Amino acid sequence: MAATAKKTEDLSQFGQTVIEGKNVTKVFGETVTALEGANFDIRAGEFISLVGPSGCGKSTLLRLVAGLIEKTSGDVKVNDDLVTKPRTDIGMMFQKAVLLDWRTAIENVLLPSEMKHRITQEDKDKAMASLELVGLKGFEFHFPKQLSGGMQQRVALARLIQTGADIMLMDEPFGALDEFTRERLNVELMRIVGELKATTLFVTHNIQEAIYLADRVMVMTPRPGKIAEIIEVKFERPRDISIQTSREFNIIIEQVRDTLGSH
Amino acid sequence: MKPVSFLISFLKYSLSFIIVLALWEAYARYGGLNELFLPRPSKIGAKLYSLFVKVEVIEQGTIYWHFYATLAQMSIGFAYGITIGTTLAVLAAFNETFRRYVAPYAVVFNVTPGIAVLPLIIAWFGFGWESKIALATLVCFFPPFINTLTGLLKKNDEAIELFQTIGATQSQYFWKQQLPNALPEVFAGLKLAITTALLGTIVAQFGSATEGVGILMQRFAFRLDMAGSFASLVTMAIMGLLVFTIAEVMDRRIVFWRDAKGLERVSKKKQRKLMVNG
Amino acid sequence: MSYSTSQQTKNISLFKTLPFHLLIFAVLIVIWELTNLYGFEDQIQADMIAPRPTNIVLAMLDIFIIDKTVWKHLISTFQKALLGASIGTAIGMGLAIAATLSLTFRKYIKPWIILMEATPRIAVGPIFVALLGFGLWSAVALAALVAFFGPFVNTFQGLMEVDEEAEEMFRSLGASRFQTFWKLRFASAMELISAGWKLATASAFGGALVAEFIQASEGMGVLIAQYVIMITMDYAFAGLLSVTIFGFILFKIMDYFDYRLIFWKNDYLLLKESEKRRKKAGIV
């Protein structure tokens, strides 16, 4: 765990801690250690990428924060509150868009509001605005199957925005998309997160994507799943896609690869 | 499909029917088909004409009465069958103990050809409508049961996680995700059930009945009136097609999200509705 | 935590649950027996509606061991059903193969198939009985007619659902149409085809029984109907039970063949099969 606090981090630009993990361990069954002794501290408005190969416990960590699974030991806190059950003050996005096929885009976006109360005009206006924000104006009444994979993920993002949650957990949301779509959505996600000032935990196995989006990249290694290193990414925001070819960017890539390779 | 191309394909397909019928007729007329076995189409046609247009009375009723009686018996049996089947399925889906200890009986029950119970059913329920309804119920409850259960238990981990993080209650999850998600399977089960219910009704009528298309068929066949038998068969085919079409249309309407055409239709409708409402 | 329609059916072994299954079954039987004894005012009515399980067991003993009446009928019905299922399967699969190979054929049989699907085919029973007599062949014909549909639909669906990339791969290898058909399409459709055989067997039983009910000289349909007419309901139940038991055994056998045939869907069988093939190739 030495790597965690090795660097002096300049986090002054962010607010106070909203997600905190202390020595979090998750064991599935009797023997499969998915996550071991993870420590993390995520500030308000920060964008954190979790990167690593399959089976390194990224998704487990995300689900522990969401309260979807129970920890074996250690503590996970969100807003100074111990996570014990599924939390509704966070929003989630999955690798699949998880849209209801029998509902139009806007009806899918309205789903979170329906859970709380009857749909009002205000909800509808908000949903229209969310869809516009993700670039789907004019597609409100299309059904998921009439949309491309990238557009389906945009609807899922709009649905996340609709929850009003200021913590966003994303589990490889662009993992099933082609490179071009992924790149475009990365740029848009950056813009949207910036506008909403949301705190984001973003799981991916794509190193470029992880670095491009993040303020800090948590590099994870498998068997057992561990946070091996946390790397700061200090590019100015908003970031242009062209930074991906810069020298600094490639140095960080090398750093991530070294960490992953040495395990 | 455009109306014109539909018409062309319809003509093309009906042509194959017409050709088969024409060959059959010609063979009967000039070849020497034993009409004791297979009557020529024109004779079947004549019988149908006398049944449907001249409204000949047979077995104390017109063909319309027999048609109605069969459909009514089938519908009641179908209604009972799907009620029993889906209720059991919902119980089994929500209660693991029930699923483990009771559902196997339904499966074993299904191995017995439901039709084998016919003599007992007639002994218990008599020669009236009740025995037909009972057999229809018995043979048709299984497809809705097993399909609804399969549909409700469809693996859907990510959707569950999504509904948890947006704070859905159990009943919200059921109504907004689990049930609609199961509908394709449910309707496939209903389509199977409706044809088996018709089959059960007709078989029960063979056993003994005073009305119904099944008994018409039986009487004509035993009198070796083949034109009459085949006319009853055509009547049953019409009935079958009718029932099948109703089930198919309902399926397409309700589970619209399966094909592109359905999606487009509903999507446009919703958009129009929005424009009217402002 | 999860919504309580638990996808996670816990894997409790049969060993643990079996006692409970037996207990529930025993309780049901006892309730049934008591209902017969005390639930009705009139004993004749009681035996008519719910004959006592003990009497049913005695009736089973009688028809199987003492009087041995059931065997002749059981064999007759099984013979009709299995013959019908085989003929029906051959016809169904033949049509399906033709329909997958020829687009024209597919187009032209489509309306006929819809018509056949919608018509309650079992309704042809009286015609068959009138024409083919009370013996074996009317029942076989009806069984075949109702049985052909399952294998037809399943074979057709299986053959049409072939993976497009795999087919391209075969084409790039210069495989003939015949080779592609057997080595790719038929093999990958095997699972559905085998399920179709089970469907055929199940419906063939229905067809054979209905033919027997209509009119026949022997068979379980005749036997059960006779017992009912004589108002010996315990014997009728015993007859019904014999059909269930032997039907169940037949299906279990078919399930086993299905399981062995499609070995690549099962990890354990895969292991065994690969071992076998390694030995056959002489590699230790």
Name which of A219, A263, A222 is nearest A32 in CA terms. A222
A244 at interface of B, judged by CB pairs closer than 8 A: no
Distance from CA of B167 to the nearest CA of A (A): 5
Interface of A with B in 117-156 (CB under 8 A): 141-143, 145-146
CB contact under 8 A, B116 and C233: no
Tokens read off for B156: 């859907």
Contact B233 C111 (CB under 8 A): no
Judged against a pLDDT cut of 90, whether residue C154 lies above it is answered with yes
Residue B134 has pLDDT above 50, yes or no: yes
Mean pLDDT of B77-86: 96
Q: Do B153 and C17 lie within an 8 Å CB cutoff?
A: no
Asked whether the beta carbons of A198 and A45 are under 8 A apart, the reply is: yes
Could you state, in order of their start, the residue ranges of all structural domains in chain B? Answer: 59-277
Q: Which of residues 232-251 of B touch C (CB under 8 A)?
A: 232-233, 236-237, 240-241, 243-244
Domain coordinates in residue numbering, chain A: 2-89+166-261, 106-164
Q: Do B94 and C117 make contact, defined as CB atoms within 8 angstroms?
A: no
- pTM equals 0.84
Q: What single-letter amino acid sits at B264?
A: E
Query: What's residue B140's pLDDT?
Result: 92
Cross-chain CB nearest to B112 (options C108, C231, C244): C244
pLDDT of res. B61: 86
**How close B100 comes to chain A (CA, Å)?**
24
Q: What's the whole-number mean pLDDT along residues B24-48?
A: 83
Question: A73 — phi, psi (to 5°)?
Answer: -155, 170
- Residue from the list B165, B183, B271 with its beta carbon closest to the beta carbon of A141: B271
A76: enclosing H helix or E strand: strand A73-78
Contact C5 B207 (CB under 8 A): no
Q: How far is A176 from chain B (nearest CA, A)?
A: 15
What was the pLDDT predicted at B36?
75
Q: Which of C111, C123, C99 is nearest to C210 (CA)?
A: C123
C residues 134-193 closer than 8 Å to B (CB) = none
Q: What is the pLDDT of residues C158-174, one digit of tens each?
A: 999 888 888 888 888 88
User: Do B166 and A111 make contact, defined as CB atoms within 8 angstroms?
Assistant: yes
Q: What is the pLDDT of residues A232-252, one digit of tens each?
A: 998 888 888 889 999 999 999
Residues of chain B contacting residue A115, judged by C-beta atoms under 8 Å apart: 166-169, 172
Residue B62 three-state SS: coil
Query: Are the beta carbons of B144 and B186 closer than 8 angstroms?
Result: yes
Q: What percent of chain A has pLDDT over 90?
A: 62
Task: Determine the residue of chain B that is closest to C221 in CA distance.
Answer: B116
User: What is A2-89+166-261's CATH number, 3.40.50.300, 3.30.110.60, 1.10.3720.10, 3.40.1360.10?
Assistant: 3.40.50.300
Which residue stretches of chain C are H helix? 14-38, 43-49, 53-61, 69-101, 103-118, 125-132, 136-147, 149-160, 164-172, 177-179, 187-214, 220-229, 233-261, 267-280
Q: Under a CB-based contact definition with an 8 Å cutoff, are residues C212 and C77 in contact?
A: yes
The number of beta carbons lying within 10 Å of the beta carbon of residue A113 is 21
- Could you tell me which of A115, A101, A184, A183 has the C-alpha nearest to residue A145? A101
Substitution target in B236, B239, B248 with the highest count of C β-carbons within 10 Å is B236
The pLDDT score that the predictor gives to residue C9 is 46
Enumerate the residues of chain C whose CB falls inside 8 A of the CB of residue A86.
1
Alpha-carbon gap, residue A48 to A55, rounded angstroms: 19
The DSSP H or E segment spanning A32 is: strand A32-43
pLDDT at B18 over 90: no
Burial (Cβ within 10 Å: 0-12, 13-18, ≥19) of residue B65: middle
pLDDT of residue B5: 66
Shortest distance, CA A116 to any CA of chain B (angstroms): 8
User: Chain A contacts of C1, Cβ < 8 Å?
Assistant: 68, 85-86
Phi, psi of C182 (to 5 degrees): -75, -45
Q: Measured between beta carbons, which residues in chain C are less than 8 angstroms from residue A85?
A: 1
**Beta-carbon separation of A90 and B164 below 8 A:** no
> What number is the average pLDDT over the span A83-110?
91
Number of A to C CB contacts under 8 A, please give it.
3
Q: What pLDDT score was predicted for residue A213?
A: 94
Q: For the ranges A47-51, A127-131, C24-28, which has the lowest average pLDDT? A: C24-28
Integer angstrom CA distances of residue A102 from A144, A146, A159, A171, C195 = 8, 11, 16, 24, 31
Eight-class DSSP state of A217:
E
Q: Which fold has domain B59-277?
A: MetI-like fold (1.10.3720)
* Nearest residue of B to residue A62, measured between CA atoms: B161
Residues of B in contact with A87 (CB under 8 A): 165
Residue B101 forms contact with C (CB below 8 Å): yes
Answer yes or no: do B206 and C4 touch at CB < 8 A. Answer: no
Whether cis (ω within 30° of 0) applies to the bond prior to B143 is: no
d(CA B69, CA B60): 12
Judge: B161–A96 Cβ closer than 8 Å, yes or no: no
- Give the pLDDT band of residue A11 (cuts 50, 70, 90): low
Taking CB atoms and an 8 Å cutoff, what residues of chain B touch A96?
Answer: 158
Does the pLDDT of residue B8 top 80, yes or no? no
- pLDDT-above-70 percentage for chain C: 95
Q: Determine, for residues B178 and C110 on separate chains, whether the beta-carbon distance falls below 8 Å.
A: no
Per the CB < 8 A criterion, the answer to whether C220 and C71 are in contact is no
When pLDDT is averaged across residues B46-55 and rounded to a whole number, the result is 89
> Phi/psi class of residue B39: alpha, beta or left (left: φ > 0; alpha: ψ in -120 to 50)?
beta
Q: What is the C-alpha separation between A183 and A189, in angstroms, rounded? A: 10
Instruction: Determine, for residues A102 and B256 on separate chains, whether the beta-carbon distance falls below 8 Å.
Output: yes
What pLDDT, in 10s, does the model give residues C66-103? 988 899 999 999 999 999 999 999 999 999 999 998 88
Quote the CA–CA distance of B136 and B81 in Å, as a whole number.
8
Kindly provide the b/e burial profile for residues B122-158, where b requires at least 16 CB atoms within 10 angstroms of the residue's own CB.
bbebeeebbbbbbbbbbbbbbbbbbbbbbbbbeebee
- Shortest Cα distance from A220 to chain C (angstroms)? 26
Which pLDDT score is estimated for B56?
84
Domain C51-268 sits in CATH at: 1.10.3720.10
Amino acid at B174: F
Share of chain B above pLDDT 70, in %: 95
Distance CA A69, CA A77 (A): 14
CA dihedral sign of residues B59, B61, B63, B69: negative
CA distance B273 to chain C (A): 35
Q: Give the pLDDT score at C115.
A: 83
Min Cα separation A19/chain C (Å): 21
Give the chains touching C; criterion: ≥3 Cβ pairs < 8 Å.
A, B
**Minimal CA separation from C267 to chain A, in Å:** 21
Q: Which amino acid is at B222?
A: F
Please tell me which of the candidates B160, B222, B243 has its beta carbon nearest to residue C126: B222
Task: Judge whether A86 is closer than 8 Å to chain B, CB to CB.
Answer: yes
How many CA atoms are closer than 13 Å to the CA of B171, on its beta-carbon side? 1
- Flag whether residue A63 sits within 8 Å of chain B, measured between CB atoms: yes
From its phi and psi, is residue A231 left (phi > 0), alpha (psi between -120 and 50) or beta? beta
pLDDT value for A10: 56
* Chain C residues 39-58 with a CB less than 8 Å from chain B: 48-49
Q: Quick one: average pLDDT of B229-233? A: 92
Q: What's the distance, CA A103 to chain centroid?
A: 25
Q: Do B123 and C20 touch (CB under 8 A)?
A: no
- pLDDT of res. C2: 54
Residues 68-127 of A with CB under 8 A from C: 68, 85-86
- Residue among C24, C124, C227 whose CB faces B233 most closely: C124
What percent of chain A is modeled with pLDDT above 70? 95
Q: Which of residues 104-123 of C touch B (CB under 8 A)?
A: 107-108, 110-112, 114-115, 117-120, 122-123
Mean pLDDT of chain A, nearest integer: 88
Higher pLDDT, C58 or B208: C58
What's the token pair of residue C245?
A: 């038991």
Q: Which residue has the higher pLDDT, C40 or B8?
A: C40
Region B139-154 average pLDDT: 92
Calculate how close chain B gets to A124, using CA atoms only, in Å: 12
Instruction: With residue B64 as reference, give the H or E element that holds it.
Output: helix B63-94
- Tell me how far apart the alpha carbons of residues A83 and A76 are, in angstroms, rounded to a whole number: 6
List pLDDT tens digits, range C208-227: 999 999 888 899 999 999 99
Chain B residues whose beta carbon lies within 8 Å of the beta carbon of residue A145: 257, 260, 263
Q: Smallest Cα–Cα separation from A22: which of A56, A69, A48, A61?
A: A61
ipTM of the shown complex: 0.83
Q: Which two tokens stand for residue A165?
A: 């949650």
Q: Rounded CA gap, C11 and C22, in Å?
A: 19
Please write the tens of the pLDDT for every residue from A52-92: 988 888 999 999 999 999 999 999 999 989 998 888 889 99
pLDDT of residue A6: 40
With tokens 């799907």, the residue in question is B82
Q: How does pLDDT run across A206-232, given as a tens digit for each residue? A: 999 999 999 999 999 988 888 989 999
Which positions in chain B touch C133 (Cβ < 8 Å)?
A: none
